[in-house]
Chains A and B, each alone.
Chain A
């Protein structure tokens, strides 16, 4: 098969180059490490540079493909690979952009964070391997490839959370992540097996065709299968009911890993959920008109409201900043679920596109906030709100960046988070789902309360006597400042990117 990319006739697998770049980078990291295999002997600079370049390469190529129109109706049209097991379209490229940019920021910041650690090569290798899995999740178009790529991103993540293997918190976080992850992946596989039982195939379009037949489909088996698949994705996106690993894993893990998991891994979980439910189960859910066979839209609505509320109320009661951010990331999963919950709106592409844009903005602002925590861990100051008192007297630039992240997460007009939340609200209004809209507004207002506590501690409270910041790690600072700049720039530049999200989304609704 041949596709036309920028006037060149190339083989169709070229459309998959962003994911291939990540995979090749992971292999290169292993080769670099095997040259000097004793732990701690490979150069941190080479490893961090190579992984950042690889992630940046994937990000740039995916962005360039989006601009060229690869996989989109105005260009090549969706590129099917391997008999439709993988597909490259606007949505997959959009999410590779998110994963690539988050990974680049995380590996850049890890350079300083890993200073003096023993197993650096393993760390970078696992990060890039997980990123490969996430970018493949964006392209996976069959329940088989979805499961394999989901595991490719999950398994390295378990090891990464437990990376500080002499630190009790890190090991405990890793254990809980592993236990919940193993449980939810077996629930997902069981759900997949039931969907296969009902439809006789795993490829998403074929599943949709088989289920469109109607009368002969065993609705009971299919319904249980769809709900179990939904629960499996709830783990990956840290939504209720499989959210309780998130605060433990994010708090225990090294902060750059928390940033990586809470932004990139969550986005990857959402793209898989979007693709499965909109490609395989639209008619089952009644999106094509008629009565739904299995009303998953209502199930997702319930999950979205509960997830938002649980995440935000739990965040409001936390004493530790990192744990607060972990719960707030659960709350944001609830906001992003609106993309699937408000689908009975007339303009479905707008609803899904709003959710995709929220995940893009969230990728930058949440990564930045966790990288700021990495900075404070590097300085060795404590984890509670009081420990941040007066930090702005020592590190005004980082504190200004953190303020941008937090207010943008809350939805104030200082970063892209404002517009993406506004779009989500417009989506709920379009769908006439007042419950979702009210939950979004109430929870955003509540979130402003606990985000402001950090800002107040940093800027208004007096510093304690022993607060001393002695080093300014350049790569961590660079990552934080870049993330802050992009978060801020997405406020005016939001309109430049949102058309590609809306176009990519509306294609899925044929």
Chain B
């Protein structure tokens, strides 16, 4: 018997909330990027599950786009974390506060 679609929705909502929790509580910039990755993948779960539910491939294809863009975003992110480390000798996001947070 196939798993009902609403359970996928619950799963993705749970993953999304874990990501939000990580962003709100962690101070390490790399963990921050990982949390964002969790949130993006929560959306992918939805897209793939509802692609199956609706019987078209749109959602599955779009989830591939999301993955590629998430990778690109991390590439830029790591670069910025690197210059952050060079300037502030730390990757704690709360340390970079010369202006105001």
Also in contact, A168 and B29, with CB within 8 A (given A175-B80, A178-B76, A182-B73): no
Contact in complex: B46, A159 (CB < 8 Å): no
Also in contact, A190 and B16, with CB within 8 A (given A162-B83, A169-B99): yes
Q: How far is the CB of B28 from chain A (nearest CB, A)?
A: 12
Q: How far, in whole Å, are A323 and B80 apart by their CA atoms in the complex? A: 22
Also in contact, A173 and B99, with CB within 8 A (given A148-B69, A182-B36, A182-B73): yes
CB contacts under 8 Å to A, within B20-65, are: 23, 29, 32-33, 36, 39-40, 42-44, 46-47, 50, 53-54, 56, 58-59, 61-62, 65
**Secondary structure type dominating chain A contacts:** helix
Also in contact, A193 and B87, with CB within 8 A (given A185-B73, A202-B58): no
Give chain A residues whose Cβ lies under 8 Å from the Cβ of B50: 193, 196-197, 200
Give chain B residues whose Cβ lies under 8 Å from the Cβ of A190: 12, 16, 39, 42-43, 46
Give chain B residues whose Cβ lies under 8 Å from the Cβ of A162: 80, 83
Contact in complex: A193, B46 (CB < 8 Å): yes
> Does B1 have its Cβ within 8 Å of any Cβ on chain A?
no
Interchain CB contact (< 8 A) of B43 among A148, A173, A182, A189: A189
> Does A165 have its Cβ within 8 Å of any Cβ on chain B?
yes
> Does A240 have its Cβ within 8 Å of any Cβ on chain B?
no
User: Max chain B CB contacts within 10 Å: which of A169, A175, A247, A323?
Assistant: A175
> Does A417 have its Cβ within 8 Å of any Cβ on chain B?
no
Give chain B residues whose Cβ lies under 8 Å from the Cβ of A171: 80, 83-84, 87-88, 96
Also in contact, A166 and B46, with CB within 8 A (given A155-B72, A196-B58): no
The 0/1 profile, CB within 8 Å of B marked 1, for residues 163-188 of chain A is 00110110111111011001101110
**Secondary structure type dominating chain B contacts:** helix
Also in contact, A196 and B46, with CB within 8 A (given A147-B66, A171-B96): yes
> Does A123 have its Cβ within 8 Å of any Cβ on chain B?
no
Q: How far is the CB of A180 from chain B (nearest CB, A)?
A: 10
User: Which chain B residue has the least Cβ–Cβ distance from A193?
Assistant: B46
CB contacts under 8 Å to B, within A177-232, are: 178-179, 182-183, 185-187, 189-190, 192-194, 196-197, 200-202, 221
> Does A112 have its Cβ within 8 Å of any Cβ on chain B?
no
Q: How far, in whole Å, are A196 and B60 apart by their CA atoms in the complex? A: 11
Contact in complex: B9, A187 (CB < 8 Å): no
Contact in complex: B47, A196 (CB < 8 Å): yes
Q: How far, in whole Å, are A4 and B19 apart by their CA atoms in the complex? A: 50
Contact in complex: B77, A194 (CB < 8 Å): no
> Does A144 have its Cβ within 8 Å of any Cβ on chain B?
yes
Q: How far is the CB of B4 from chain A (nearest CB, A)?
A: 13
Q: Which size class do A's interface residues fall under?
A: 35 or more
Q: How far, in whole Å, are A183 and B79 apart by their CA atoms in the complex? A: 17
> Does B18 have its Cβ within 8 Å of any Cβ on chain A?
no
User: Which chain B residue has the least Cβ–Cβ distance from A185?
Assistant: B73
Contact in complex: B42, A252 (CB < 8 Å): no
Give chain A residues whose Cβ lies under 8 Å from the Cβ of B46: 190, 193-194, 196-197
Q: How far, in whole Å, are A381 and B16 apart by their CA atoms in the complex? A: 46
User: Which chain B residue has the least Cβ–Cβ distance from A156?
Assistant: B76
Q: How far, in whole Å, are A162 and B43 apart by their CA atoms in the complex? A: 29
> Does A89 have its Cβ within 8 Å of any Cβ on chain B?
no
Q: How far, in whole Å, are A185 and B84 apart by their CA atoms in the complex? A: 22
Q: How far, in whole Å, are A140 and B43 apart by their CA atoms in the complex? A: 21
Q: How far is the CB of B48 from chain A (nearest CB, A)?
A: 9
Contact in complex: A147, B65 (CB < 8 Å): yes
Contact in complex: B80, A178 (CB < 8 Å): yes
Contact in complex: A179, B32 (CB < 8 Å): yes
Q: How far is the CB of B27 from chain A (nearest CB, A)?
A: 11
> Does A33 have its Cβ within 8 Å of any Cβ on chain B?
no
Also in contact, A189 and B58, with CB within 8 A (given A151-B73, A174-B80, A178-B77): no
Contact in complex: A183, B23 (CB < 8 Å): yes
Give chain B residues whose Cβ lies under 8 Å from the Cβ of A65: none
Q: How far, in whole Å, are A166 and B69 apart by their CA atoms in the complex? A: 27
> Does A283 have its Cβ within 8 Å of any Cβ on chain B?
no
Give chain A residues whose Cβ lies under 8 Å from the Cβ of B62: 143-144, 147, 192, 196, 202
Interchain CB contact (< 8 A) of A159 among B36, B39, B76: B76
Contact in complex: A147, B69 (CB < 8 Å): yes
> Does A158 have its Cβ within 8 Å of any Cβ on chain B?
yes
Contact in complex: A151, B69 (CB < 8 Å): yes
> Does B3 have its Cβ within 8 Å of any Cβ on chain A?
no
Give chain B residues whose Cβ lies under 8 Å from the Cβ of A189: 39-40, 43, 66
Q: How far, in whole Å, are A250 and B38 apart by their CA atoms in the complex? A: 28
Q: How far, in whole Å, are A158 and B73 apart by their CA atoms in the complex? A: 9
Q: How far, in whole Å, are A409 and B99 apart by their CA atoms in the complex? A: 25
Give chain A residues whose Cβ lies under 8 Å from the Cβ of B65: 144, 147-148
Q: How far, in whole Å, are A171 and B96 apart by their CA atoms in the complex? A: 9
Contact in complex: A165, B83 (CB < 8 Å): yes
Give chain A residues whose Cβ lies under 8 Å from the Cβ of B76: 155, 158-159, 178
Give chain B residues whose Cβ lies under 8 Å from the Cβ of A201: 56, 58
Q: How far, in whole Å, are A169 and B56 apart by their CA atoms in the complex? A: 47
Contact in complex: B59, A183 (CB < 8 Å): no
Question: 13 interchain pairs (CB within 8 A)?
Answer: A144-B58, A147-B62, A148-B69, A159-B76, A168-B88, A172-B84, A179-B93, A186-B36, A190-B12, A193-B44, A197-B9, A197-B50, A202-B59
Given contacts A165-B86, A193-B44, 7 further A-B contacts (CB under 8 A): A174-B80, A175-B81, A178-B77, A192-B43, A193-B47, A196-B58, A200-B58
* Chain B contacts to A: CB under 8 angstroms: 9, 12, 16, 19, 23, 29, 32-33, 36, 39-40, 42-44, 46-47, 50, 53-54, 56, 58-59, 61-62, 65-66, 69, 72-73, 76-77, 79-81, 83-84, 86-88, 93, 96-101
